[in-house]
Amino acid sequence: MYMWIIKALFMLILLAGCSSNNSQNFTKQPNSVKNTTIRKIELDTLLLDSIETSFEIESSINDNKIYLVDKYMNYLYEYNTEGNLIKRYLGNGRARNETTIGRISSHTFLDDGIFFFNPNADYYFYDNDFIFKDMFNISYQNPEWNLHNIYEDPLAYTQRYNDIVCRQYGGNIYFNVHLQQPLANIITTTKKHLKRNANILEVKPNEKGFGRLLAIGYPNSYKKDSQTKAVLSSVNFDIDTAGLFYVTYEADSLIYVYDNSFNMLQCYGFAGRDMDLNYTQANNLKEAKSIYHSERNSKGYYNWLEYVDETGMLFRSYKKGVSALSDGLQIFKDGIMIGDVDVPKGTRVMGYIAPYYYSYIIPNDKLETLTIYRFQL
């Protein structure tokens, strides 16, 4: 009898541990497996042909070509796999092969073209020849928010100014967002924020409006010393061709996998090596804003996630900190970590053009260079 009670209590404790986080997005226990077969990668360095650029850029791979988006000059440059310039598209102007978008926040390639958006919530669509197709705006007319409704209203969230992740699946667009209203934020309404804050916003072009709020809440690691992670509270994510979401939080060592309905499937991961986790506490929004850039430029955190559909590899990049000589790159296959290697600072995996994996373009405005690294596994 006593043994049965003890077993029952043990099961209750175990179940409570599995669902100890208030959010339904964290219902699985970690299943982290390591089988290190990759201890070092050999990098080729490509210097891209010089272009007219502000060096405020994004880059991407599409149809076995490399593209660079200048976020201020609004040019779209096309390169081959050796870094040779093929052609320049778009630029500021009112012709159908130009754009009036202003400052570009981010972009993603679609099945039938390319998508851009700006800080004013203007959404622009171009076809495969980079000819204008359509645009729409979502008006941010603030309703009367209170703590009962603000977390569930997409209009309360704003895009990240930098470090934006923009992905597409099934005709919809997804990007990371944050809620930093005086009424609701991670510092002044910490418990509510950790439970109810959304981190990914869905845009539905066919309806010209917002869809779902996703990645709601934070993992348990954010419950301890929450205010030291105020400026490291975003997510990085990717979506594979089956519609699965891979999500990582900047100050959390795990990777979370969800189906397209955002039901949790699994979580796994290991902490990066030699990361400076001595985060600075922010006691109010003013302090958080004052330390934002210094904290992100000097501390260790997970800063990118890329799933490569062609090979089934998942790459997670992380910064070690200002005193480190390198950044880190973790490599996963089928949920198993098979490598954690040093890479040059700023290196994040962009995609795959056989037989190479390519990094995102790294701009250097002082040297006026554009660099890509590539490697084979």
Residue 377 domain-assigned (yes or no): yes
Q: What is the CATH number of the domain that holds 121?
A: 2.40.10.480
Query: Could you tell me if 103 and 215 lie in one domain?
Result: no
Q: Smallest Cα–Cα separation from 320: which of 333, 305, 330?
A: 330
Query: Could you tell me if 131 and 179 lie in one domain?
Result: no
Number of C-beta neighbours around residue 3 at 10 A: 7
Residue 158 domain-assigned (yes or no): no
Query: Could you tell me if 268 and 322 lie in one domain?
Result: yes
Query: Could you tell me if 214 and 295 lie in one domain?
Result: yes
Residue 118 domain-assigned (yes or no): yes
Query: Could you tell me if 82 and 40 lie in one domain?
Result: no
Query: Could you tell me if 43 and 92 lie in one domain?
Result: no
For tokens 């080729």, name the residue. Answer: 44
Q: What is the CATH number of the domain that holds 350?
A: 2.120.10
pLDDT for residue 23: 63
Question: Measured between alpha carbons, how far is 159 from 199 in angstroms, rounded to an integer?
Answer: 10
For tokens 């990582």, name the residue. Answer: 248
Residue 151 domain-assigned (yes or no): no
Query: Could you tell me if 42 and 75 lie in one domain?
Result: no
Query: Could you tell me if 110 and 91 lie in one domain?
Result: yes
Which domain-ending residue is among 91, 118, 137?
137
Q: Smallest Cα–Cα separation from 215: which of 200, 204, 196?
A: 200
Amino acid, single-letter form, for residue 273: R
pLDDT for residue 9: 39
Instruction: Annotate 178-203 with DSSP letters as a single string.
Output: E---SSS-TTTSHHHHHHH---EEEE
Query: Could you tell me if 177 and 132 lie in one domain?
Result: no
Q: Is 161 helix (H, G, I), strand (E, B) or coil?
A: coil
Query: Could you tell me if 66 and 184 lie in one domain?
Result: no
Q: Which two tokens stand for residue 51?
A: 């272009």
Residue 13 domain-assigned (yes or no): no
Residue 213 domain-assigned (yes or no): yes
Predicted model pTM: 0.92
Tens-digit pLDDT profile for the chain (377 aa)?
444 443 443 333 333 333 344 467 899 999 999 999 999 999 999 999 999 999 999 999 999 999 999 999 999 999 999 999 999 999 999 999 999 999 999 999 999 999 999 999 999 999 999 999 999 999 887 678 888 899 999 999 998 877 899 999 999 999 999 987 888 999 999 999 999 999 999 999 999 999 999 999 999 999 999 999 999 999 999 999 999 999 999 999 999 999 999 999 999 999 999 999 999 999 999 999 999 999 999 999 999 999 999 999 999 999 999 999 999 999 999 999 999 999 999 999 999 999 999 999 999 999 999 999 999 99
Which domain-ending residue is among 120, 137, 154?
137
Domain count, the chain: 2
Structural domain containing residue 312 = 33-48+165-377
Asked if 209 contacts 140 with a C-beta cutoff of 8 angstroms, the reply is no
Q: Smallest Cα–Cα separation from 330: which of 278, 258, 253, 257?
A: 253
Which domain-ending residue is among 119, 137, 155?
137
Query: Could you tell me if 202 and 343 lie in one domain?
Result: yes
143 phi, psi to nearest 5 deg: -80, -175
Residue 4 domain-assigned (yes or no): no
Give 99's DSSP letter. B
Residue 72 domain-assigned (yes or no): yes
pLDDT for residue 140: 82
Query: Could you tell me if 315 and 294 lie in one domain?
Result: yes
